[in-house]
Amino acid sequence: MSQSYPRLLGDIGGTNARWAWQSAPGAPLQDISVMGCEASASLYDAAASYLAARGGEAPRSACIGVATAVTGDDIGFTNSPWSFSISQLKQTLAVQRCLVINDFTALAMSLPTLGEGDLRSIGGGQAVALAPMALLGPGTGLGVSGLLRTPGGHCSALSGEGGHVTLAPTNELESEVLRCLRERHGHVSAERVLSGFGLVNLYQASCDLLGCASRQLEAADITQAAIDASDLACQQAVSLFACFLGNVAGNLALTLGARGGVYVGGGIVPRLGAAFDAALFRQRFEQKGRFESYLQAIPTWVITAATPALLGASRALDEIGA
């Protein structure tokens, strides 16, 4: 294992590229960098810029989480124009091993390492030891994963594209919102509302249903207007966001049997702050008919740690076979 150090670790989303360096087993992450993806023409350029700025020795191995499906050597991002070849990246970095995984696979690998200071509880009971954990996170898109653990401490993260499942309504208002979105987009996935652009979609649909003119607002504008209670459509959009997120999280918990807890990552929910209605989230999370008591017992948390997926990327190099 020590021969795989030093390590270059990356977490590449649709908006930001996060990098870190780890010099030895158990060593803290060093030289953590967050750069906008628009600052580089490609993943190759972003990695080269980070290594050049850092200076010093070259990495022996690399693990990079990417916000897209990893199904072969050629990788194209879902919400970014970037694309690259894993084999070419390995050659460019001149590393002995180059592991590329889904970004939420990397984040899932970090879950056992997160402490109380890295999490904010948003309801539920106690986690069941060694039970599956579930993970979802609205950001530029909607990431979804899960983590399976063994008594020996081995972890296996699930890699899927659960953000693109078809979204279902639970009441008349949600049905009308989805009708508006189907007219614009056809298929309405969970990501279509549970993301930065999804919050904008919810706002525009709310304007349609409330009969008011929509403005050119970004997600941050909608959030601030909801906090200020200055715009009814923005308030409704943020409430709908919490409801849909709770619904999708509850479905994921049932699907995975996630009695080890459900974790909410991504950049959107922490930025919502007081505008995020945790009570609405839990209500929809638990509102699953005969399995309401089952879900009431499952704890849910918001991940507040700054760069946990980078820790997960390092763990992936140890847990995922070459």
The total of other beta-carbon atoms located within 10 Å of residue 42's CB is 14
What pLDDT score was predicted for residue 56? Answer: 84
What pLDDT score was predicted for residue 292? Answer: 98
Does 202 share its domain with 239? yes
Does 135 share its domain with 99? no
What beta strand segments (E) does 38-168 contain? Answer: 61-66, 74-76, 83-85, 97-102, 119-121, 133-138, 142-149, 155-157
Residue 109 lies in a domain: no
16-22 and 30-36 beta bridge pairing: antiparallel
Q: Say if CB 151 and CB 142 are below 8 A apart.
A: no
Q: Which residue has the tokens 């987009």?
A: 185
What tens digit of pLDDT does each residue of 24-64 get? 998 999 999 999 999 999 999 999 999 999 998 999 999 99
Does 82 share its domain with 172? no
Q: pTM for the full model?
A: 0.93
What tens digit of pLDDT does each residue of 58-80 get? 999 999 999 999 999 999 998 88
16, containing H or E segment: strand 16-22
Does 250 share its domain with 311? no
Residue 110 lies in a domain: no
Q: Is the peptide bond before 59 cis (omega within 30 degrees of 0)?
A: no
CA distance 310 to 209: 42
Does 175 share its domain with 236? yes
Does 139 share its domain with 63? no
| CA atoms within 13 Å, Cβ hemisphere of 36 | 2
What pLDDT score was predicted for residue 274? Answer: 83
Does 262 share its domain with 144? yes
Residues in the chain, pLDDT under 70: 1-2, 321-322
Q: Which residue has the tokens 């709310």?
A: 206
> Looking at residue 44, which CATH number applies to its domain?
3.30.420.40
Residue 181 lies in a domain: yes
Does 25 share its domain with 157? no
Domain count, the chain: 2
What pLDDT score was predicted for residue 271? Answer: 86
What pLDDT score was predicted for residue 237? Answer: 97
Does 11 share its domain with 136? no
Q: Kindly tell me the sign of the dihedral angle through the C-alpha atoms of 243, 245, 246, 248.
A: positive
Residue (of 143, 73, 78) closest to 308 by Cα position: 143
Does 297 share its domain with 311? no
> Looking at residue 201, which CATH number applies to its domain?
3.40.367.20
Q: Which residues is 7 bridged to in the sheet?
A: 22, 61
Q: Is 135 helix (H, G, I), strand (E, B) or coil?
A: strand
What pLDDT score was predicted for residue 1? Answer: 55
Which residues constitute the domain of residue 68?
A: 2-103+307-319
Q: Which residue has the tokens 């983590």?
A: 147
Residue 33 lies in a domain: yes
Does 202 share its domain with 218? yes
Residue 108 lies in a domain: no
Type of residue found at 296: Q
Does 140 share its domain with 278? yes
